[in-house]
Amino acid sequence: MSERVSIASSANPVALDLTELQQEVTAKFFHGLSDLTRLRIIELLLDDGERNVSDLVAVLGQSQGRISNHLACLRWCGYVDSRRDGKFVYYRVTDPRVRQLIELARNVIADNAAAIVSCTRM
């Protein structure tokens, strides 16, 4: 028997199967890493430990607003955290499992690179 969870929104309450809810949350989790800029930010933070927005803007060649929006997304989903030091805010990856997740993805990609590159369904 499947457990149902009620989620109320301003429009109307919706009852979701618990499995469906877990799948939706999992999809959102991976969506956080599906953007190339967000993935680059994560990789830079994994390599360097911490960076501020100005550093990321310089390395990635994108606007401060765009980088800040990506950092907000990553922070919201729990990938990164921040600390203030004077006028600068420094970002870092919060959970060491993020590194493991990236490494695991690279291993899967290595085994399936040709198929992934040629995939036209994404």
Q: Tell me: the pLDDT tens digits for 6-33?
A: 555 555 556 668 888 899 988 998 888 9
Q: What is the pLDDT of residue 18?
A: 85
What does the pLDDT read at residue 45? 97
Rounded CA separation 104/94 (Å) = 18
CA atoms within 13 A on the CB side of 105: 12
Distance CA 22, CA 61 (A): 36
Low-confidence ranges of the chain (pLDDT < 50): 1
Sign of the dihedral through C-alpha 45, 48, 54, 58: negative
pLDDT at 104: 94
| C-alpha span between 32 and 10 (Å, rounded) | 25
- Supply φ then ψ for residue 80, to 5 degrees: -130, 160
**Domains, the chain, ordered by start:** 1-32 (no CATH), 35-118 (1.10.10.10)
41/71 Cα distance (integer angstroms): 8
* pLDDT at site 3: 57
pLDDT score, position 1: 47
